[in-house]
Amino acid sequence: MMISKLLQHDQHFLNNINVVKASIKAAELNKNDTVLEIGPGKGILTTELAKKCKEVVAIEIDESLKAELAKMPKNVEILYGNALKLINEVHFNKIVANIPYSITEPLFGKLLKLEFEAAVLLIGQNFYELLNGKEKWGIISKLFFEVDKVMDVPKDNFEPRPRTDSVLVKITPRKKLLSEKEKIMKELILQDDKKLKNALMFAQMRIRNITKNQAREEMEKIKLAQEWWDKRVMHLSGVQFEMVVKEIVG
Ligand code: SAM
């Protein structure tokens, strides 16, 4: 396979069946589960998933892997295309995947808006640290998910070797009840393409069940410079986001 393609699609194939087994065990699969796999590659994980669940829907961007993936069991459906586009069109209740590093952030952005029971994912060490840090992804992950480390997966478990080590994590949507402040923060994150003033207006109307005018009146009481109101939520750093939220909800 050409080196450029391996790099372009983050093709670091797992070479250790024990990591596959650990992923399947962590996902607690049963015969009612429909599992989404992102990037089946040559199918090392796909084949084992298929033995434990009702069906696997796998999305692979690289059509040159078709010959390898043609050997998959009958309960595996392979869709060719970009997982970031197709994920909204498929039905599943769990995700198990060794995901391509370069789509990690946008993929997690999608997970915030999707319903699922659990996602067992191999992610880069750097992103794992972000999920547990104090910056934006740390704040987001605490609001939306429980993140449990299953195991460290050093780079020699892949062929070719990636630049960084990986971590196998189990992500479950957060079940703990949210405070009003957390609900507003969550709503702001889900509206992160909007300017802060519009996102907050919408968040207050939804969470506090108030009218647009009432929301506007509430916002007039908040002492925040105009430049902050006009910033898009996605352009705030984690520290800025927390500072703004403190001004808004205390
Ligand atoms: N699951 C295989 C394994 O563990 O050996 C392959 C994992 S490899 C890290 C990532 C896989 O995702 C590759 O097969 C690559 O072609 C595929 N891929 C990369 N970007 C993708 C995208 N946007 N949508 C779907 N698949 C993608």
Render each residue's pLDDT in the chain as its tens digit; 250 residues: 556 666 678 999 999 999 999 999 999 999 999 999 999 999 999 999 999 999 999 999 999 999 999 999 999 999 999 999 999 999 999 999 999 999 999 999 999 999 999 999 999 999 999 999 989 999 999 999 999 999 999 999 999 999 999 999 999 999 888 898 899 999 999 999 999 999 999 999 999 999 999 999 988 888 888 999 999 999 998 888 888 888 877 6
| Tokens coding 81 | 């295309």
pTM for this predicted structure = 0.93
Question: How many whole angstroms from 61 Cα to the centroid of ligand 1?
Answer: 7
Residue in 60, 69, 96 to alter for ligand 1 test, most ligand atoms within 8 A of Cβ? 60
Position of tokens 């970009």? 82
Residue in 61, 88, 155 to alter for ligand 1 test, most ligand atoms within 8 A of Cβ? 61
Atom of ligand 1 at shortest distance to CA of 37? 1
Give which of 166, 163, 215, 151 is closest to 187, Cα–Cα. Answer: 215
**CA–CA distance, 58 with 41 (Å, rounded to integer):** 10
CA dihedral for 162, 164, 169, 172, sign (positive or negative): negative
What does residue 35 show for φ and ψ, rounded to 5 degrees? -105, 130
| Tokens coding 182 | 């957390």
- pLDDT given for residue 244 in this prediction: 84
Domains in the chain: ranges and CATH: 3-173 (3.40.50.150), 180-248 (1.10.8)
What count of residues does the chain have?
Answer: 250
Question: Contact 187/162 with Cβ under 8 angstroms?
Answer: no
Atom of ligand 1 at shortest distance to CA of 14? 5
| Tokens coding 116 | 């699922």
- pLDDT given for residue 246 in this prediction: 85
- pLDDT given for residue 223 in this prediction: 84
91, amino acid identity? H
| Tokens coding 114 | 């999707």
Residue in 6, 19, 62, 88 to alter for ligand 1 test, most ligand atoms within 8 A of Cβ? 62
**CA–CA distance, 232 with 11 (Å, rounded to integer):** 34
**Ligand 1, atom 23, residue with closest C-alpha:** 82
Alpha-helical segments (H) within 36-93: 44-52, 66-69, 83-86
